[in-house]
Homo-oligomer: A and B are copies of this chain.
Amino acid sequence: MIEKLIAKIKKTNAPIVVGLDPMLSYVPDQIVKKSFAEYGETLEGAADAIWQFNKEIVDATCDLIPAVKPQIAMYEQFGIEGLKAFKKTVDYCHEKDLVVIGDIKRGDIGSTSAAYAAGHLGKVQVGSQVFRGFDEDFVTVNPYLGTDGVKPFVDICKEEKKGLFILVKTSNPSSGEFQDRLIDGKPLYEHVAEKVAAWGEELMGEDYSYIGAVVGATYPEIGKALRKVMPKSFILVPGYGAQGGRGKDLTHYFNEDGLGAIVNSSRGIIAAYKQEAYAKFGAEHFADASRQAVLDMIDDISSALR
Protein backbone atom coordinates (compact mmCIF):
# COMPACT_ATOMS: atom_id res chain seq x y z
CA MET A 1 0.00 0.00 0.00
CA ILE A 2 2.97 2.33 0.51
CA GLU A 3 3.78 1.74 -3.18
CA LYS A 4 0.25 2.71 -4.14
CA LEU A 5 0.46 5.82 -1.98
CA ILE A 6 3.76 6.81 -3.61
CA ALA A 7 2.47 6.10 -7.12
CA LYS A 8 -0.59 8.22 -6.49
CA ILE A 9 1.46 11.07 -5.00
CA LYS A 10 3.64 11.04 -8.12
CA LYS A 11 0.65 10.90 -10.44
CA THR A 12 -1.27 13.74 -8.75
CA ASN A 13 1.88 15.68 -7.92
CA ALA A 14 0.17 16.29 -4.60
CA PRO A 15 1.75 15.03 -1.38
CA ILE A 16 -1.43 15.85 0.46
CA VAL A 17 -4.28 14.13 2.22
CA VAL A 18 -7.75 15.49 2.84
CA GLY A 19 -8.91 14.95 6.40
CA LEU A 20 -12.53 13.89 6.38
CA ASP A 21 -13.28 15.07 9.93
CA PRO A 22 -16.77 16.47 9.59
CA MET A 23 -18.49 18.32 12.40
CA LEU A 24 -22.23 18.56 11.90
CA SER A 25 -21.74 22.35 12.00
CA TYR A 26 -19.61 22.14 8.83
CA VAL A 27 -22.41 20.55 6.83
CA PRO A 28 -24.37 23.12 4.79
CA ASP A 29 -28.05 23.61 5.61
CA GLN A 30 -29.35 22.18 2.35
CA ILE A 31 -27.77 18.80 3.15
CA VAL A 32 -28.76 18.78 6.80
CA LYS A 33 -32.35 19.66 5.93
CA LYS A 34 -32.59 16.88 3.38
CA SER A 35 -31.14 14.28 5.77
CA PHE A 36 -33.40 15.39 8.62
CA ALA A 37 -36.40 15.30 6.26
CA GLU A 38 -35.57 11.69 5.45
CA TYR A 39 -34.40 10.37 8.85
CA GLY A 40 -35.58 12.98 11.34
CA GLU A 41 -33.44 14.80 13.87
CA THR A 42 -31.82 11.52 14.88
CA LEU A 43 -28.37 9.98 14.99
CA GLU A 44 -29.25 8.40 11.66
CA GLY A 45 -30.12 11.82 10.28
CA ALA A 46 -26.85 13.32 11.52
CA ALA A 47 -24.85 10.40 10.12
CA ASP A 48 -26.58 10.67 6.76
CA ALA A 49 -25.83 14.39 6.58
CA ILE A 50 -22.16 13.73 7.26
CA TRP A 51 -21.99 10.97 4.71
CA GLN A 52 -23.66 13.10 1.99
CA PHE A 53 -21.27 15.95 2.83
CA ASN A 54 -18.24 13.65 2.57
CA LYS A 55 -19.45 12.16 -0.69
CA GLU A 56 -19.73 15.54 -2.39
CA ILE A 57 -16.27 16.56 -1.18
CA VAL A 58 -14.75 13.26 -2.33
CA ASP A 59 -16.44 13.58 -5.72
CA ALA A 60 -15.12 17.13 -6.10
CA THR A 61 -11.53 16.38 -5.10
CA CYS A 62 -10.72 12.72 -5.78
CA ASP A 63 -8.96 13.37 -9.11
CA LEU A 64 -6.57 15.81 -7.41
CA ILE A 65 -5.48 13.86 -4.34
CA PRO A 66 -3.84 10.56 -3.48
CA ALA A 67 -5.43 9.93 -0.11
CA VAL A 68 -8.03 10.79 2.49
CA LYS A 69 -7.83 10.57 6.27
CA PRO A 70 -11.19 10.12 7.98
CA GLN A 71 -10.91 10.86 11.71
CA ILE A 72 -13.02 8.15 13.36
CA ALA A 73 -13.77 10.23 16.49
CA MET A 74 -15.95 12.56 14.45
CA TYR A 75 -18.11 9.58 13.49
CA GLU A 76 -17.87 7.72 16.79
CA GLN A 77 -19.47 10.67 18.57
CA PHE A 78 -22.70 9.72 16.81
CA GLY A 79 -22.48 6.14 18.06
CA ILE A 80 -23.29 3.19 15.80
CA GLU A 81 -24.96 5.36 13.15
CA GLY A 82 -21.89 7.57 12.98
CA LEU A 83 -19.63 4.56 12.55
CA LYS A 84 -21.81 3.34 9.71
CA ALA A 85 -21.12 6.69 8.00
CA PHE A 86 -17.39 6.15 8.65
CA LYS A 87 -17.56 2.73 7.00
CA LYS A 88 -19.56 4.08 4.06
CA THR A 89 -16.98 6.83 3.62
CA VAL A 90 -14.07 4.36 3.69
CA ASP A 91 -15.81 2.12 1.15
CA TYR A 92 -16.68 5.01 -1.14
CA CYS A 93 -13.11 6.32 -1.08
CA HIS A 94 -11.90 2.85 -2.06
CA GLU A 95 -14.33 2.90 -4.98
CA LYS A 96 -12.73 6.17 -6.01
CA ASP A 97 -9.31 4.49 -5.75
CA LEU A 98 -8.13 6.77 -2.96
CA VAL A 99 -5.74 5.52 -0.30
CA VAL A 100 -7.60 5.57 3.01
CA ILE A 101 -5.74 6.44 6.22
CA GLY A 102 -7.98 5.65 9.18
CA ASP A 103 -7.09 8.18 11.86
CA ILE A 104 -7.96 5.95 14.79
CA LYS A 105 -4.97 6.41 17.15
CA ARG A 106 -5.55 2.98 18.68
CA GLY A 107 -3.00 1.11 20.76
CA ASP A 108 -3.31 -1.44 23.55
CA ILE A 109 -1.62 -4.53 24.95
CA GLY A 110 -0.78 -7.33 22.50
CA SER A 111 -3.96 -9.37 22.04
CA THR A 112 -6.09 -6.25 22.16
CA SER A 113 -3.98 -4.40 19.60
CA ALA A 114 -4.32 -7.52 17.46
CA ALA A 115 -8.11 -7.15 17.62
CA TYR A 116 -7.93 -3.48 16.59
CA ALA A 117 -5.55 -4.38 13.77
CA ALA A 118 -7.86 -7.16 12.59
CA GLY A 119 -10.87 -4.84 12.65
CA HIS A 120 -9.25 -1.93 10.84
CA LEU A 121 -6.62 -3.44 8.53
CA GLY A 122 -7.16 -7.17 8.50
CA LYS A 123 -9.92 -9.69 8.71
CA VAL A 124 -11.78 -11.88 11.19
CA GLN A 125 -12.76 -15.51 10.88
CA VAL A 126 -16.39 -16.32 11.63
CA GLY A 127 -16.94 -20.07 11.32
CA SER A 128 -15.86 -20.93 7.79
CA GLN A 129 -16.20 -17.35 6.56
CA VAL A 130 -13.83 -14.40 6.55
CA PHE A 131 -14.91 -10.77 6.92
CA ARG A 132 -13.33 -7.34 7.01
CA GLY A 133 -14.56 -4.85 9.59
CA PHE A 134 -13.53 -1.33 8.56
CA ASP A 135 -10.82 -2.14 6.03
CA GLU A 136 -8.70 1.00 5.88
CA ASP A 137 -5.33 0.98 4.05
CA PHE A 138 -3.31 2.67 6.80
CA VAL A 139 -4.16 3.49 10.41
CA THR A 140 -2.59 5.76 13.00
CA VAL A 141 -1.29 4.06 16.15
CA ASN A 142 -0.40 5.39 19.63
CA PRO A 143 3.00 4.10 20.82
CA TYR A 144 2.67 4.67 24.61
CA LEU A 145 2.42 0.93 25.32
CA GLY A 146 5.68 0.05 23.55
CA THR A 147 6.70 -2.63 21.07
CA ASP A 148 4.27 -5.36 22.07
CA GLY A 149 1.38 -2.93 21.63
CA VAL A 150 2.57 -1.95 18.15
CA LYS A 151 3.81 -5.30 16.80
CA PRO A 152 0.35 -6.84 16.26
CA PHE A 153 -0.41 -3.94 13.93
CA VAL A 154 2.91 -4.47 12.13
CA ASP A 155 2.22 -8.19 11.79
CA ILE A 156 -1.14 -7.61 10.16
CA CYS A 157 0.41 -4.97 7.89
CA LYS A 158 2.86 -7.64 6.72
CA GLU A 159 0.04 -10.02 5.86
CA GLU A 160 -2.12 -7.41 4.22
CA LYS A 161 0.53 -5.18 2.62
CA LYS A 162 -0.94 -2.26 4.52
CA GLY A 163 0.71 0.38 6.67
CA LEU A 164 0.80 2.48 9.82
CA PHE A 165 1.52 6.02 10.89
CA ILE A 166 2.72 5.94 14.48
CA LEU A 167 2.33 9.04 16.66
CA VAL A 168 5.77 10.53 17.24
CA LYS A 169 5.26 14.27 17.74
CA THR A 170 1.67 15.44 17.60
CA SER A 171 0.52 18.84 16.37
CA ASN A 172 -1.35 20.05 19.47
CA PRO A 173 -0.06 22.80 21.79
CA SER A 174 0.59 20.55 24.80
CA SER A 175 2.18 17.71 22.82
CA GLY A 176 5.50 18.64 24.40
CA GLU A 177 4.32 17.91 27.92
CA PHE A 178 5.52 14.32 27.68
CA GLN A 179 6.79 13.99 24.10
CA ASP A 180 9.50 16.67 24.43
CA ARG A 181 10.90 15.53 27.78
CA LEU A 182 14.56 14.55 27.64
CA ILE A 183 15.58 10.95 28.21
CA ASP A 184 19.31 10.31 28.06
CA GLY A 185 19.70 13.70 26.44
CA LYS A 186 17.13 13.10 23.70
CA PRO A 187 13.43 13.99 23.67
CA LEU A 188 10.94 11.15 24.08
CA TYR A 189 9.66 11.76 20.53
CA GLU A 190 13.12 10.97 19.20
CA HIS A 191 13.20 7.67 21.09
CA VAL A 192 9.82 6.85 19.62
CA ALA A 193 11.07 7.87 16.16
CA GLU A 194 14.04 5.50 16.51
CA LYS A 195 11.60 2.68 17.30
CA VAL A 196 9.47 3.63 14.31
CA ALA A 197 12.57 3.39 12.11
CA ALA A 198 13.42 -0.01 13.63
CA TRP A 199 9.87 -1.37 13.31
CA GLY A 200 9.84 -0.02 9.77
CA GLU A 201 12.94 -1.94 8.75
CA GLU A 202 10.94 -5.13 9.14
CA LEU A 203 8.49 -4.07 6.51
CA MET A 204 10.14 -2.21 3.66
CA GLY A 205 8.64 -1.37 0.30
CA GLU A 206 10.95 -0.39 -2.53
CA ASP A 207 12.29 2.90 -1.13
CA TYR A 208 10.06 3.52 1.85
CA SER A 209 8.75 1.47 4.72
CA TYR A 210 5.12 0.55 5.28
CA ILE A 211 5.57 1.93 8.79
CA GLY A 212 5.41 5.70 8.92
CA ALA A 213 5.14 8.37 11.58
CA VAL A 214 2.96 11.31 12.57
CA VAL A 215 4.85 14.57 13.08
CA GLY A 216 2.84 17.80 13.39
CA ALA A 217 3.26 20.67 10.92
CA THR A 218 3.28 23.02 13.89
CA TYR A 219 6.81 21.99 14.93
CA PRO A 220 8.91 22.43 11.76
CA GLU A 221 12.30 22.28 13.51
CA ILE A 222 11.37 18.98 15.05
CA GLY A 223 10.13 17.76 11.68
CA LYS A 224 13.52 18.57 10.20
CA ALA A 225 15.34 16.61 12.91
CA LEU A 226 12.99 13.63 12.75
CA ARG A 227 13.25 13.41 8.96
CA LYS A 228 16.87 12.31 9.53
CA VAL A 229 16.03 9.87 12.33
CA MET A 230 13.51 8.02 10.14
CA PRO A 231 14.86 8.42 6.58
CA LYS A 232 12.79 5.53 5.20
CA SER A 233 9.54 6.35 6.96
CA PHE A 234 6.79 8.40 5.40
CA ILE A 235 5.72 11.24 7.65
CA LEU A 236 2.05 12.07 7.94
CA VAL A 237 1.92 15.77 8.76
CA PRO A 238 -1.22 17.08 10.48
CA GLY A 239 -1.67 20.69 11.56
CA TYR A 240 -1.45 22.38 8.13
CA GLY A 241 -3.83 25.29 7.58
CA ALA A 242 -6.32 25.71 10.39
CA GLN A 243 -3.76 24.70 13.03
CA GLY A 244 -1.16 27.10 11.61
CA GLY A 245 1.25 25.08 9.42
CA ARG A 246 2.24 26.50 6.01
CA GLY A 247 3.96 24.97 2.96
CA LYS A 248 7.18 26.92 3.42
CA ASP A 249 7.57 25.46 6.90
CA LEU A 250 7.26 21.91 5.67
CA THR A 251 10.03 21.44 3.12
CA HIS A 252 12.24 19.66 5.62
CA TYR A 253 9.63 16.98 6.24
CA PHE A 254 10.43 15.75 2.71
CA ASN A 255 13.46 13.87 1.45
CA GLU A 256 15.56 15.01 -1.50
CA ASP A 257 13.51 12.76 -3.79
CA GLY A 258 10.56 15.06 -3.08
CA LEU A 259 8.83 12.20 -1.27
CA GLY A 260 8.62 10.98 2.30
CA ALA A 261 5.85 13.20 3.61
CA ILE A 262 2.14 13.63 3.12
CA VAL A 263 0.50 16.74 4.52
CA ASN A 264 -3.02 16.64 5.92
CA SER A 265 -5.56 19.40 5.93
CA SER A 266 -9.00 18.80 7.38
CA ARG A 267 -11.06 21.86 8.29
CA GLY A 268 -9.12 24.01 5.83
CA ILE A 269 -10.44 21.87 2.96
CA ILE A 270 -13.77 20.44 4.03
CA ALA A 271 -15.06 23.65 5.61
CA ALA A 272 -13.33 25.92 3.07
CA TYR A 273 -16.63 27.59 2.08
CA LYS A 274 -16.80 29.06 5.60
CA GLN A 275 -13.52 30.92 5.12
CA GLU A 276 -13.38 34.42 3.73
CA ALA A 277 -11.08 33.32 0.91
CA TYR A 278 -13.68 30.92 -0.44
CA ALA A 279 -16.87 32.66 0.66
CA LYS A 280 -17.72 33.50 -2.95
CA PHE A 281 -18.60 29.85 -3.57
CA GLY A 282 -21.38 29.99 -0.99
CA ALA A 283 -22.76 27.08 1.02
CA GLU A 284 -24.54 25.81 -2.08
CA HIS A 285 -21.21 25.15 -3.81
CA PHE A 286 -19.23 24.07 -0.75
CA ALA A 287 -17.62 21.17 -2.63
CA ASP A 288 -16.27 23.53 -5.29
CA ALA A 289 -14.78 25.62 -2.49
CA SER A 290 -13.11 22.46 -1.18
CA ARG A 291 -11.74 21.72 -4.64
CA GLN A 292 -10.29 25.22 -4.89
CA ALA A 293 -8.79 24.89 -1.40
CA VAL A 294 -7.13 21.62 -2.48
CA LEU A 295 -5.71 23.30 -5.58
CA ASP A 296 -4.39 26.16 -3.45
CA MET A 297 -2.86 23.77 -0.94
CA ILE A 298 -1.13 21.79 -3.69
CA ASP A 299 0.19 25.03 -5.11
CA ASP A 300 1.41 26.23 -1.69
CA ILE A 301 3.28 22.99 -1.03
CA SER A 302 4.62 22.55 -4.58
CA SER A 303 5.96 26.12 -4.61
CA ALA A 304 7.69 25.51 -1.31
CA LEU A 305 9.22 22.26 -2.54
CA ARG A 306 10.42 23.74 -5.85
Q: Which residues of A contact B (CB under 8 A)?
A: 21, 24, 32, 36, 41-43, 45-46, 71, 73-74, 76-80, 82-84, 87, 105-110, 112-113, 115-116, 118-120, 124-129, 131-134, 142-149, 167, 170-179, 181-184, 188, 191-192, 195, 238
Contact = CB atoms under 8 A, between A and B. Distances in A.
Contact of A107 (B43, B105, B126, B192): B105
Given A73-B108, A170-B109, A188-B188, A144 B179 contact: yes
A145 B175 contact: yes
A106 B83 CA distance: 15
A184 B188 CA distance: 12
A126 B43 contact: yes
Contacts of A113: 73
B174 A126 contact: no
A70 to B, nearest CB: 12
B172 A110 contact: yes
Nearest to A147: B174
B71 A126 contact: no
Contacts of A87: 79-80
Given A80-B83, A112-B21, A148 B126 contact: no
Nearest to A39: B126
Given A126-B45, A129-B41, A73 B179 contact: no
Of A43, A79, A106, most buried by chain B (CB within 10 Å of CB) is A79
A181 B188 contact: yes
B112 A73 contact: yes
Contacts of A176: 146
Contacts of A76: 115-116, 119-120, 133-134
